[in-house]
Chains A and B, each alone.
Chain A
Amino acid sequence: MRSINRSRKSRGWMIGRSTGELLTAAVTARSGTPGNGHQDLRVLCGFRGKWVVGILLFFAVLLVSGAAPEKHLSIYSTAANYSLPVVQRQGRDYVALLELLDPLGTVSAKSAPPRWRLHFNNVLGDFTVGQSHARIQGRDTELAGKFLLENGRGLVPLASLNSLLPHFLGGPATLHQESARLFIGGIATHFTASVSPDDPSRLIFRFTAPVNPSVATEPGKLRLTFNREPLTAPASPTLTFGSKTIPSATYSENNGAAAITVTTTLSLLASFSPDGRTITLAPAKSQPAASAPGATAPGVNAQGVSAQGVNVQGVNAHGATATRPPAAAPAQSNATVQSPAAIPSASAPRRYFAIVDASHGGDDRGEALSSTLAEKDVTVAFARRLRQELENRGIPTLVLRDSDADLSLDDRAFFANTTHAAVYIALHAASNGHGVRLYTALLPYSGDDDRGPFYSWTTAQSSSISLSQAAAASVAAELKKQQVAVRTLTAPLRPLNNIVTAAIAVEVAPPGSDLSQLASPEYQQLVAGAVANGIAAIRAQLGAAP
């Protein structure tokens, strides 16, 4: 495997060489340095002159510029952050399963074509070449395509990772398939962006964990690219600030990286706080330190061309002002594993106060709210908005389902319990009725009492039911303040009864008879703000996570 990695690295470097470098190399050769190359060129010129060289150069440039960037999968986990090459087979994206699991635990594979057996920690996976399912711990699991074996390396379809990995890892894995980003466990870095109240030309990004993006500029834009951080989308991909100089920022994901692109009419400086959790973008003229010689570096856009008038400055994590290198994104080597120590942001698990669970997902679409609107889509949009609102109030929040992953109810409960958050909020959407309905658990009949320190799974909520009811009452009060119709009920709704901490479910129905209002950002914002206010109001009572 190591030799494969090394050769792939070399290939990555060759592909990673910029067009500019090749052009420079070619022009240097043509201009004539003493040596054989120069002799050859003179001979060539003798036959066909400059035209031949020109045509050759043209094709060389065409060849290199036309090469598609190699696709790779970025994996974020508490153990390590790393990336793997994604290969195209049979019209699908595939990844090597052993290499994917390698940094996450003890893994070994035994190849006996057509069978391929994989041991990860204590889990055994049995794969067969050409089969679209695998047996993991004796249970059948569907794959999104056929399993492939190449030189002893087992390849699985990228789209299968959402369903495949939880069996090996014992926890959820969230795949952003379009952008090839894989989040293992609850790892995620969220951010907020706001214009400074005293200076509308300053934009402040706050992150829930230290970040170290590469900074690139182009006329009218500044782009922060996060290759190694598990950055996740804000409630809305486009953030508007009501500032003339910095009107908006857009979040996007592509090929294993996340990016925030800020539109601006000014030359901006990016400065990093000592803890790496805050990035401030401010006009160049207002940055006193930036004027010092050597403290600024010309901004460089993604193509390596200098952008005029845009400066980039960085302060490293130790608080020292440093000149940031040209911000062209470093070529990401394939299958390179970042050690946990190298990336404290990823390795240090964050303590979350609130868990927001977007119900349904994957094949489970929930209620068909309309012919085009599924409950699962409304809940995930609402979850992101609620996370933003809670984070704005200083409440560390994790969204349990931040993609179209399908999580079982047991997995959701398991994950919420092991995170030790103070409150769990499940989100649902409905077409009938209007306003918001808040639910606490209707506990099932149980003859199984808790045994010593162990809770009965079906009635685990019993010890926290009064806290859940208090949270529901607090949220209901805030919704009433916003004149949103609200009812508080109990419901036989899993996984509420399996959660050991305060747990409520929020079912959002349209405010009136117009169903489309359910998906309107204004209505979602109103409800999310009120729910966040309700949680913030009872924060002291909910207490710190045990």
Chain B
Amino acid sequence: MIPRHFFIAVSVLLLAVLGMSLYAWHMRGRAAIGPVASIDTRPVVPPVAGPTEQVTLFVAYDDIGVLHAQSARIPLPSVRQQRAEELLRALVALYLDKSSPHPLPPGADIRNVYLVDPGLAVIDVNAAFADGHRSGVLTEELTVASLIQTLAANLPGILKVKILVEGKQRETLAGHADLSGFFDVSAINQLTTQLQSTQ
């Protein structure tokens, strides 16, 4: 015969275990449906201010598959590396606009641009830039040519460009454009000439 007090104690413990299990299950469910960590958009550096400069952006147009040179006035810092970053961010901002002629995925951004002598530029884009990029030979090529030609046209002396995604090498942008090697700026210059015509 099980003593009465022992029976009551075990019952209370079982109830406590059950209650805690239910609470844990409830909390787990809440955690699962909670907001996914979104991209942190808080500024970490002060916005670039000061006098604006005229630059040339090479803007892609998907509808006719061309790249057009376009003048713009943007504030640029004096340091060459920061100028490169601001230049490309201005280009990406244009593509992120609702009326973009060449839409990039939401959250796409330039993380860093490194200028390494002699003549090497490394463009580091974020994961959202590549992961959500539309697939297709021409679509991807327009993005690559737009970035490189904009950089090379406004910062003379760049001979080759490497594109990284989140600081790492990636085989292709979205299944087609090869990112494994270094882009030859003179070859991109010729490509830009081809892409400025629809023929």
Residues of A within 8 A of B (CB): 360, 364, 366-368, 375, 409, 428, 430-433, 437, 439, 442-446, 458, 487-494, 497, 505, 507
A-B contact pairs, 8 of them (CB 8 A): A432-B65, A442-B191, A443-B187, A444-B184, A445-B181, A488-B194, A493-B141, A494-B178
Complex interface: chain A residues within 8 A of B135 (CB): 366-368, 375
Tell yes or no: B139 within 8 A of A by CB: yes
Complex interface: chain A residues within 8 A of B64 (CB): 433
Tell yes or no: B195 within 8 A of A by CB: yes
Complex interface: chain B residues within 8 A of A497 (CB): 178, 181
Scoring B residues 10 to 30 as 1 if CB is less than 8 Å from chain A, else 0, what string do you get? 000000000000000000000
Complex interface: chain B residues within 8 A of A409 (CB): 171
Complex interface: chain A residues within 8 A of B172 (CB): 494
Tell yes or no: B190 within 8 A of A by CB: yes
List the B residue with the shortest CB-CB distance to A430. B136
B175 engages A364 (CB within 8 Å)? yes
A491 engages B177 (CB within 8 Å)? yes
Tell yes or no: B199 within 8 A of A by CB: yes
Give Cα distance in the complex from A489 to B65, angstroms: 11
Give Cα distance in the complex from A439 to B178, angstroms: 13
Select which of B144, B160, B179, B191 is within 8 A of A445 by beta carbon: B160
A487 engages B199 (CB within 8 Å)? yes
Report which residue of A368, A375, A428, A442 has the largest number of chain B beta carbons within 10 angstroms of its beta carbon: A442
**Using a CB-CB cutoff of 8 Å, which residues 135-171 of chain B contact chain A?**
135-139, 141, 144, 159-160, 171
Residues of B within 8 A of A (CB): 62, 64-65, 134-139, 141, 144, 159-160, 171-172, 175-185, 187-188, 190-191, 194-195, 198-199
Report which residue of A360, A489, A491, A507 has the largest number of chain B beta carbons within 10 angstroms of its beta carbon: A491
Give Cα distance in the complex from A366 to B135, angstroms: 7
A489 engages B178 (CB within 8 Å)? no
Give Cα distance in the complex from A56 to B178, angstroms: 70
A492 engages B141 (CB within 8 Å)? yes
B181 engages A491 (CB within 8 Å)? no
A493 engages B178 (CB within 8 Å)? yes
Closest Cβ–Cβ distance, residue B87 to chain A (whole Å): 21
B194 engages A490 (CB within 8 Å)? yes
B159 engages A428 (CB within 8 Å)? no
Complex interface: chain B residues within 8 A of A439 (CB): 137
Given A444-B182, A445-B159, A445-B160, check contact A493 B191 (CB 8 Å).
no
Select which of A432, A487, A490, A492 is within 8 A of B190 by beta carbon: A490
